[in-house]
Structure 1
Amino acid sequence: MSDQDRAVSPLGDVAELIDGGDMDCGSGLLLLITRAMRRMEAGQRLGVRSSEPSVVTDLPVWADLVGHEVETEVAETSDGPWWFAVRKAGRPTEETTVFSLGDRTPLGQRLWVYTNFDCNLACEYCCAESSPKAAARRVTPALGQAVFDEFAALGGREVFLTGGEPFMHPELGDLVDAAAGLHRTVLTNAMIFSRGRRRETLEKIDRSVVLQISLDSATAELHDRQRGAGSWERALAGIELAKSLDFPVRVAATMYDEDPAGVSELHRRLDGIGIPRDDQLIRPVAQEGFADTGVHISIDTVEPEPTITADGAWWHPVAVTNPNMRIADSPQPVSEVFGVVRDILAVQDAAERSGREVFRCA
């Protein structure tokens, strides 16, 4: 919010003033509000400006669900934008320590970390907009150690190290070591760790670390069209190398259209090279980053998978280029990252129980 907006605010005294622009409650506004509310004391007022008409209905519903009060609503014109003053509840909102993420992992037990954003490939659907030209934005071993220590102290169990291409990080080995004691998975395209310094890094990694390797199809045509000429053969070679070094290997395919024939062919290919079915993952393209089409991502369409980068924290690893999915402007404290997510989940749960909707998506 600019100083000029503060000067023209019709809300009077507020502890903080945020501008939601045209975001609705499902596309990021509640993340902004929740972050701000956690910084405020009970009884203080939060100012919110919005040009999205649905917020006029949804914001009071949200406030009622969590016990806050919308004290003031002012419209600049009949078509908006609208200003709201929300007083934070004077009593603690209900705390729930464990939320189930579907049938997978309880919130607080899993953390994603983008080790870096530069990559040897520039895949046409990359949600992180990684490429050889991307800024590295590396997580340092010192930051990684601090994050992993706090995460473990909070009861965390599992960490996924992704990118970019993690093996382009010159200190990847130190980052993996920093997460010792947690169940560790490194996501890689398996194309650059066969020789030189990166091969040395690979061979020094503990064999309890899972390597999740990308392979998008049973044949080279589709994979190479999406990832670059020759990448399919090199990925297969990387899978064989990882297996020969006794790493647990999981293979993940990213597909625009989950055609049953293509999926079946890929499963048969992976069966043939000894990858167990439980370690064969098929995932859709998300409409994020470089992808113009795919699954729509918002806080009400994907369950949270809290994700750390060198410069922030995000709702889900596929949404790290989407400012509406940002949880925090720094990777620590991890407790605050999970706290924001818990607050959002509590609202979703309360809305579901009451039959009310506060997470609309255009």
Structure 2
Amino acid sequence: MFQLTDPDRAPGPLGDVATLVDGGDMDCGSGLLLLITRAMRRLEPGQSLGVRSAEASVVTDLPAWADLVGHDVVAEVAESAGGPWWFAVRKARGPGRETRAGTVFSQGERTPVGRRLWLYTNFDCNLACVYCCAESSPKAAARRFEPALAAAVFDEFRAQGGREVFLTGGEPFMHPELGTLVDAATGLERTVLTNGMIFARGNRRKTLENLDRDVVLQISLDSATPDLHDRQRGAGSWSRALDGIALARSLGFRVRVAATLQDEDPEGVDALHRRLDDAGIATADRVIRPVAHEGFADQGVHVSLDSLEPEPTVTADGAWWHPVAVTNAHLRIADAPLPLAEVFGVVRDTLAVQDAAARTGREVFRCA
């Protein structure tokens, strides 16, 4: 994160600031809005937040943000005619307008904040998919989520009324304590995302067989035929994914299939649906999504704070706006997964500001 905690760095004309945030070259449409929202939540009414930015648009957008939420820009200082710029923003002494607004409006599809949580179990993977948003591979640092921390996360999630948990990676079945992580989420709707390739034998087979049958397995299959899928994911991965789907269904699991569809796929989506018909996958259990221009991907859909519906996501070392953006510093919410109350609070406040500024909804990037 770019947040600083040394208010002595602020120039004298800003006056007394309690906390300082340095947004670098981020604008209010990306990570700066998350930073200042998070920092302002930690201040007492009447205290001031110092903000530094090298992005010229912030000169217009920061006062607009303050006006929307009821805060006051009490000082502005430019280091030069071309910036960077420094601001002092005094927190409202009464409830901010995002609180008074009550209902958050959207014309897009939105899962209520606090209902769904994504958790990265680990970042190592048996594959190195060319478009992996998480930059997972056999060489990636594991960054495993510890079971005790997961239990604390899920306990707070339940207490806040949470309902759905998605455990993703990396390849979750490479986490030696995956079963313990899944068990920690008992009582919630649980989905494990997997490539379906490594749970057929050994200890991973035991982990699979010991999972409760109300756990949903979401398995990746990108194309109706092996050519494109194997070019993206590795030779032989298409047939092994189909084998994994068949095994999981034979053991009594509900299987959801997720396809990351490429424009150059010669077979197309209709052929994929026919393949999934043959595999016995219900229509409601098919997720077809585009490539996100994140992580390893060198092309795809551009994602940002404005284009992504929030899907709060925790990893061993932070919290993020959305699971496809865990390599994007602009979409990082916090430096630790707990407390969830702060993570969800930052998301709600940010949505309220966005919705108050433009009631046009946003494009939904659906992952599950």
Answer yes or no: same fold by TM over 0.5. yes
Matched, 1:345 2:348: no
Secondary structure at the residue paired with 2:223?
coil
Secondary structure at the residue paired with 1:26?
coil
Matched, 1:80 2:83: yes
Q: Deviations over 1:73-96 (max 9, x none)?
A: 111111111111100111112264
Q: Which residue of 2 aligns with 1:358?
A: none
Distance verdict in 2 for CA 1:225–1:109, change over 3 Å: same
Choose which of 20, 23, 27 in structure 2 pairs with 1:24.
Answer: 27
Tell me how far apart the structure 1 counterparts of residues 126 and 26 of structure 2 sit (CA, whole Å): 34
Tell me how far apart the structure 1 counterparts of residues 159 and 67 of structure 2 sit (CA, whole Å): 34
Name the aligned partner's letter for residue 325 of structure 2.
Answer: A
Matched, 1:140 2:146: yes
Matched, 1:181 2:187: yes
Q: CA RMSD of the aligned region, Å?
A: 2.0
In the alignment, is the contact (CA less than 8 A) between 2:134 and 2:324 conserved in 1?
A: yes
Q: Which residue of 1 aligns with 2:63?
A: 60
Matched, 1:206 2:212: yes
Choose which of 124, 127, 147 in structure 2 pairs with 1:121.
Answer: 127
Q: Which residue of 1 aligns with 2:277?
A: 271
Name the aligned partner's letter for residue 134 of structure 1.
Answer: A
State the Cα distance separating 1:255 from its structure 2 match.
2.0
State the Cα distance separating 1:273 from its structure 2 match.
1.1
Q: Deviations over 1:36-65 (max 9, x none)?
A: 001111101111111111111100000000
Aligned length: 355
Q: Which residue of 1 aligns with 2:166?
A: 160
Residue correspondence of structure 1 range 240-255 to structure 2 within 5 A? 240-255=246-261
In the alignment, is the contact (CA less than 8 A) between 1:120 and 1:131 conserved in 2?
A: yes
Distance verdict in 2 for CA 1:75–1:164, change over 3 Å: same
Secondary structure at the residue paired with 1:123?
coil
Name the aligned partner's letter for residue 291 of structure 1.
Answer: A
Tell me how far apart the structure 1 counterparts of residues 106 and 160 of structure 2 sit (CA, whole Å): 16
State the Cα distance separating 1:312 from its structure 2 match.
0.7
In the alignment, is the contact (CA less than 8 A) between 1:119 and 1:132 conserved in 2?
A: yes
Q: Greater CA deviation, 251-260 or 235-244?
A: 251-260
Q: Which residue of 1 aligns with 2:336?
A: 330
Q: Greater CA deviation, 18-27 or 174-183?
A: 18-27
Q: Which residue of 2 aligns with 1:15?
A: 18
Q: Greater CA deviation, 206-215 or 92-101?
A: 92-101
Q: Which residue of 2 aligns with 1:42?
A: 45
Name the aligned partner's letter for residue 316 of structure 2.
Answer: A
Secondary structure at the residue paired with 2:30?
helix
Q: Deviations over 1:301-360 (max 9, x none)?
A: 1110000111110000000011110111110111111000000011011112599xxxxx
Q: Which residue of 2 aligns with 1:292?
A: 298
Tell me how far apart the structure 2 counterparts of residues 193 and 113 of structure 1 sit (CA, whole Å): 20
Distance verdict in 2 for CA 1:119–1:353, change over 3 Å: closer
Percent same amino acid at aligned positions?
76
Q: Deviations over 1:263-321 (max 9, x none)?
A: 11101000111101111111011111111111111111111000011111000000001
TM-score (norm 1): 0.94
Tell me how far apart the structure 2 counterparts of residues 199 and 10 of structure 1 sit (CA, whole Å): 64
Q: Which residues of structure 1 form unaligned runs of 5+?
A: 356-362
Distance verdict in 2 for CA 1:124–1:180, change over 3 Å: same
Tell me how far apart the structure 2 counterparts of residues 309 and 13 of structure 1 sit (CA, whole Å): 35
Tell me how far apart the structure 1 counterparts of residues 186 and 28 of structure 2 sit (CA, whole Å): 38
In the alignment, is the contact (CA less than 8 A) between 1:98 and 1:106 conserved in 2?
A: no
Tell me how far apart the structure 1 counterparts of residues 156 and 49 of structure 2 sit (CA, whole Å): 30
Tell me how far apart the structure 1 counterparts of residues 151 and 159 of structure 2 sit (CA, whole Å): 12
Distance verdict in 2 for CA 1:7–1:46, change over 3 Å: closer
Distance verdict in 2 for CA 1:165–1:270, change over 3 Å: same
Distance verdict in 2 for CA 1:38–1:4, change over 3 Å: closer
In the alignment, is the contact (CA less than 8 A) between 1:99 and 1:106 conserved in 2?
A: no
Distance verdict in 2 for CA 1:240–1:104, change over 3 Å: farther
Q: Deviations over 1:123-143 (max 9, x none)?
A: 010000001111111111111
Matched, 1:314 2:320: yes
State the Cα distance separating 1:257 from its structure 2 match.
2.1
Name the aligned partner's letter for residue 64 of structure 2.
Answer: V
Secondary structure at the residue paired with 2:77?
strand
Name the aligned partner's letter for residue 194 of structure 1.
Answer: A
Matched, 1:196 2:199: no
Tell me how far apart the structure 2 counterparts of residues 139 and 4 of structure 1 sit (CA, whole Å): 34
Q: Deviations over 1:199-223 (max 9, x none)?
A: 0000000000000000000010000
Q: Greater CA deviation, 230-239 or 5-14?
A: 5-14
Tell me how far apart the structure 2 counterparts of residues 156 and 234 of structure 1 sit (CA, whole Å): 34
Q: Which residues of structure 2 form unaligned runs of 5+?
A: 362-368
